[in-house]
Homo-oligomer: A and B are copies of this chain.
Amino acid sequence: MRVPYSDLHDALRRALETTGLAPERADLSARLIADASRDGVYSHGLNLAPRLIQMMRAGVVDADALPERTAAAGAIERWDGRRGVGNLNAHHSMAIAIELARTHGIGCVALANTNHWMRGGTYGWQAADAGVIGLCWTNTLPNLPPWGAADPRIGNNPIVVAVPRRRGHVVLDMALSQFSYGALAGYRSRGEPLPVVGGFDTRGELTRDPAAIEASRRPLPIGFWKGSALSIVLDMVAAILSDGRATHQIAVDPGTETALSQVFIAIDAGSLSAAGAADRIVDAIVESLKSSSDDGERVRYPGERTLATREENLANGVPVDPSHWRFVLEVGQMS
């Protein structure tokens, strides 16, 4: 089922306003959610809206809370998200980091007490659209065992790296788990094995069976011990800089996951280089990748498919899950 982008944006705006967000904030939050679906990131667009609405209703997410600056030193600032709406807090933080980068060449905002930022790539595209390099990450609830253990103690801590480019930004948006639980469920429901090992089964053996990993709750970090280590240090840096919670302090239930810590860094390469210099470098790298031998046509740069998907979804409507779409429409009709 497809709906026009403007209908999706409107329905989300109405639903968020009805749930308690001030009009301008509802409009921005709805746009960010609609943009994720428009760009093909369905798992982190409309599909997450019902949970956001439920968390606002439950008071886990405070609809009225605005982020507050709690410390600053030159090019780095610390903000308290006050358990407000995650995508609005994150968007605000990257906006401040971009401002700081305009002044200082580089800017960093650490955000404590925030909520799920939904699509992480949002803030990468935001930076790239502003013409700056963006680097950000979030911690999460404990959803992966650290290497050497069986119980979830570390987060899949998604990281985003964005590089602005006239012919299409390069935006990496990836969690540190090899497969999300959503991806595991997808493979399971299609009856497919994972393309590569994705976790341990209950006997502690590596497996490509998605159901076995769902049963063991032992999905793999990327790179086995390496992603485990990366998750640990990103959690430390986010908690230290924001003076916020670390993964081990965050509730394990996704329905009450709150008080996350995030870091947003923006770097203005334009403060060092002539206009067009960065584009020439990125274009040459892309060209080199595209000329790879063998399955060369399959080599893509991060974010490459986004613009084509965006164009298609703007032309033909944005694919929506009917039940989530109905939920949002119904919420928007309450008063």
- Mark A residues whose CB is within 8 Å of B: 71-76, 78, 103-108, 110, 133, 135, 145-151, 153-154, 161, 163, 170, 172, 174, 176, 178, 196-197, 206, 222-224, 226-227, 229-230, 232-237, 239-241, 243, 246-249, 265, 267-269, 271-273, 277-278, 281-282, 284-285, 288-289, 292-296, 298-302
Interchain CB contact under 8 A, B76 and A232:
no
Which B residues are in CB contact (< 8 Å) with A71?
272-273
Interchain CB contact under 8 A, A282 and B151:
no
Interchain CB contact under 8 A, B108 and A105:
yes
Interchain CB contact under 8 A, B292 and A153:
yes
A42 to chain B, nearest CB (A): 19
Known: A106-B265, A151-B292, A232-B289. 11 other contacts (CB 8 A): A74-B106, A74-B271, A76-B268, A146-B289, A148-B296, A161-B230, A229-B302, A240-B273, A241-B269, A248-B285, A265-B265
Q: How far is the CA of A237 from the CA of B105 in the complex (A)?
A: 14
Checking B106, B224, B273 against A196 with a beta-carbon cut-off of 8 angstroms, the contacting residue is B224
Checking B178, B222, B233, B282 against A170 with a beta-carbon cut-off of 8 angstroms, the contacting residue is B233
How many protomers of this protein does the assembly include?
2
Q: How far is the CA of A144 from the CA of B196 in the complex (A)?
A: 18
Q: How far is the CA of A161 from the CA of B265 in the complex (A)?
A: 15
Which B residues are in CB contact (< 8 Å) with A299?
146-149, 153
